[in-house]
Amino acid sequence: MKEEYRQKLLTGNEWIDGTDKYGLTLTDDLDSLLSCAILQHIKGWNIESAFIFNDNKVHEKDKQKLDCYYKIADTDNEQIGVDFAKAEGKCFDNHLTQFTYHEEINSQAINLNRVQNIYREKYCKKYNLSTVLLLWSLYDLPKTKLTDELMMLLIAIDSSDAGFYTDKRWVGIHEYWINEVLDLPELLEFERSHTKEDFNKFKRELGLVKGRSKIWVEDKKLCTDIDLEAVNEILWWNTDIEIKLPEAEFYRNGIYKDNIVNIQGFPSSIKTICDNPFSYAMTSKYAVAVSEQVM
């Protein structure tokens, strides 16, 4: 990551380079899991909690989705959200949460949209890459002489490639974030030499398609249909990073209403939409996903 942007993230959040011990909050996909693996590799922080979206597996529009927060029994560590936009507290994420230019949002969020003051009216200019790439760049992981498979994986996660293979008027935004901010020109050149179908084929082969590659809790254990072995085989060509689920039991610690709310008018902050948000992120200029605790 270019130094000026790293310093912006570091200011007031020196903990990202510190030695204090924290736990990690995993969410329900590969972006979060690999991001946790990076933090475990670099910082020695372990997954101690999990926030599972739509834990009750509701797909009907007229039924209430519920998110659940799980935690291991034997930890008192402060938990850091990973690919998880917390309303308050430490987190790493790639989401857009700022409604207005002057709004003060979570200052402990390691989020490029926050430090670049990208707010709702600038939605089309938001950081459009993964949390994995944010961390890969932040902690200066290898960026040269990577295998094609690893570059494909890094770009495919959270559909970061979508910002490049799109209408030409938007490509410059993607190029700005990946090249001028993250300082990953090799990945940009890789995109230029490949096609959208190359990425789609890779995603199908690895199961990185909608409705797949999820993480959930069953009988107090974290479970997944992500092909961990296939992902690790790609990672191990260039790194010592390994993705894996912890063996510990996870106990339900909170239940949250999961709602997509249409944004009406020009709200000044999330508090005008939800009294007590735990996590939230805009899914478009006109909608926001909110998790609000009920138990």
Angstrom distances, CA of residue 100 to CA of 95, 96, 117, 118, 247: 15, 11, 9, 9, 42
- pLDDT of 30-88, one tens digit each? 999 999 999 999 999 999 999 999 999 988 877 999 999 999 999 999 999 999 999 99
pLDDT at 58: 84
- Residue 295, pLDDT above cutoff 90: no
Q: Would you say the pTM of this structure is higher than 0.85?
A: yes
Mean pLDDT score, 211-234: 96
Dihedral sign for Cα atoms in the order 156, 162, 163, 168 = positive
Q: What is the mean pLDDT of the chain?
A: 97
Tell which residue, 148, 142, 173, 169, has the closest CA to residue 160. 173
Helix (H) or strand (E) holding 201: helix 196-206
pLDDT score recorded for residue 52: 98
| Number of neighbours of residue 38 by Cβ within 10 angstroms | 24
Map out the domains of the chain as residue ranges. Answer: 3-148+211-293
Per the listing, tokens 């101690």 go with 48
Question: Where in 202-265 does DSSP place strands (E)?
Answer: 215-218, 221-224, 251-262
pLDDT digits (tens, 9 = 90+) for 117-157: 999 999 999 999 999 999 999 999 999 999 999 999 999 99
Q: What is the pLDDT of residue 269?
A: 96
Triad 208, 234, 127: Cα angle to 5°: 55
